[in-house]
């Protein structure tokens, strides 16, 4: 495909940017569109996956058929089968008449299944039958019906991880992943960030009838350095806020930083997408497994650093050196009470976590301290085994994070789920699992 053809597609579908990874994704979408092959689009939340499904439909022989986009994570588990495949009258409480499902309505068209990783296992089995044979059965019926629908699926999680954890069918994964398309995150698109910002600033200036926002050169650099965990959606929100709130229409780097949350670039875990790229994801794009492993690895690393610190102290550090070492590693003691050093010859109180002593400092220059030094070294050796066994429970950490998120958002589960990077349905299941439904 020539660059001019790719540019023509961008103009038609309102796609802005020239990043090589973006151009390649558009090229793959255009090449696969004339076929009936199933496509799996992967990318972080807010990166524009739905635009690629529209490209595939519009450039296919099915372009005159119906196109329906469905968010699998937004449909309750008890009704998703009815929504997708339809139901017969009286098949369940409230089914007062027969209803056609999306696969029946879009016969001859295209269905876009967003957040396919949130689909229940029972529904996955029904979907696999549609993909294999074009057959489905309405809820409450025994009659097999036929449909001719092209399926384009999308996900912001690693489906292979979901397969290993038993949350996604392996046969369905390979059936969906006939042609993979990876949509790059905004932070990997370089100059596209500023191009998109200018487009949004112009759009909002027209909408609100104000002069367009412009950025100083330093502000442009600041904008391109930000990781944008919410991707294009977050950039658009920033542009809209600035268009409405800024009185001076040229924004410098200092004022721009007020619209870019400082903690979002570092507080989220490392995750691996289906395409295999490791990125520092943002809110919506990481799985529970990634989050829990991040917490576990951080705690293990801190414990290792703590062990090394205490061994260094027990190895003969002088008082001034001890104080400096404690100051440099103060981040390791944020969750514990550490008694201050009480001067040469005095043994300070030992802080505790639970019932175990984990740190002690004292002057080790006296000759009669040899036994005490050996005792401390032996105690340190036993730290990781005892402490990790008590505190590194994945379920306990997951429960703790859920409680914190609910408190932070005043028990508004929608926002708590968004902050944790999971769907509302997953949060409800976790609340029931940990008996937190009254939290």
**Confidence label for 107 from pLDDT (cuts 50, 70 and 90):** very high
What size, in residues, is the chain? 439
Q: Dump pLDDT digits (tens) for 10-37.
A: 999 999 999 999 999 999 999 999 999 9
pLDDT value at residue 263: 57
C-beta of residue 194 within 8 angstroms of C-beta of residue 220: yes
Cα distance between residue 154 and residue 37, in whole Å: 14
For the chain, give the percent of residues with pLDDT over 70: 72
pLDDT value at residue 326: 55
C-beta of residue 1 within 8 angstroms of C-beta of residue 30: yes
**Confidence label for 314 from pLDDT (cuts 50, 70 and 90):** low
Question: Which domains are delineated in the chain?
Answer: 3-184 (3.40.50.300), 187-257 (1.10.8.60), 308-383 (no CATH)
pLDDT value at residue 322: 53
pLDDT value at residue 432: 81
pLDDT value at residue 301: 73
Report DSSP letters for 290-344, one per residue.
Answer: HHHHHHHHHHHHHHHHHHHHHHHHHTT--HHHHHHHHHHTGGGGTTS--PPP--T
């Amino acid at each position: 495909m020539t660059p001019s053809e790719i540019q023509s597609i961008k103009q038609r579908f309102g796609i802005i940017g020239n990043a090589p990874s973006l151009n390649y994704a558009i090229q793959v979408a255009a090449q696969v569109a004339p076929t009936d092959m199933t496509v799996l689009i992967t990318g972080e939340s807010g990166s524009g996956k739905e635009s690629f499904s529209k490209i595939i439909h519009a450039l296919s022989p099915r372009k005159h058929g119906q196109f329906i986009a469905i968010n699998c994570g937004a449909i309750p588990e008890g009704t998703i089968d009815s929504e997708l495949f339809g139901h017969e009258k009286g098949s369940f409480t409230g089914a007062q008449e027969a209803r056609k499902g999306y696969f029946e309505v879009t016969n001859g068209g295209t269905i876009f299944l967003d957040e396919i990783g949130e689909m229940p296992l029972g529904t996955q089995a029904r979907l696999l039958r549609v993909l294999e044979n074009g057959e489905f059965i309405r809820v409450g019926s025994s009659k097999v019906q036929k449909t001719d629908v092209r399926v384009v699926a999308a996900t912001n999680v690693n489906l292979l991880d979901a397969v290993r954890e038993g949350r996604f069918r392996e046969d369905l994964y390979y059936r969906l992943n006939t042609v993979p398309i990876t949509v790059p995150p905004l932070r990997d698109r370089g100059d596209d960030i500023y191009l998109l910002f200018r487009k949004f600033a112009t759009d909002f200036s027209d909408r609100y009838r104000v002069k367009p926002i412009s950025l100083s050169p330093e502000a442009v650099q600041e904008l391109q350095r930000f990781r944008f965990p919410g991707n294009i959606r977050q950039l658009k929100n920033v542009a809209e806020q600035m268009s409405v709130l800024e009185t001076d229409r040229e924004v410098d780097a200092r004022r721009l930083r007020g619209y870019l949350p400082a903690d979002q670039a570092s507080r989220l875990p490392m995750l691996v997408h289906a395409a295999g790229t490791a990125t520092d994801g943002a809110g919506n794009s990481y799985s529970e497994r990634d989050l829990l492993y991040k917490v576990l690895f951080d705690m293990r690393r801190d414990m290792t650093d703590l062990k090394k610190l205490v061994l260094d102290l027990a190895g003969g550090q002088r008082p001034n050196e001890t104080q400096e070492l404690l100051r440099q590693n103060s981040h390791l003691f944020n969750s514990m009470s550490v008694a201050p050093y009480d001067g040469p010859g005095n043994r300070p109180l030992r802080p505790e976590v639970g019932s175990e002593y984990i740190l002690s400092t004292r002057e080790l220059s006296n000759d009669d301290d040899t036994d005490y030094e050996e005792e401390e070294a032996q105690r340190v050796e036993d730290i990781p085994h005892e402490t990790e066994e008590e505190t590194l429970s994945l379920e306990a950490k997951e429960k703790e994070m859920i409680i914190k998120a609910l408190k932070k958002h005043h028990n508004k589960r929608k926002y708590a789920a968004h902050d944790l990077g999971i769907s509302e349905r997953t949060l409800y299941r976790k609340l029931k699992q940990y008996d937190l439904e009254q939290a």
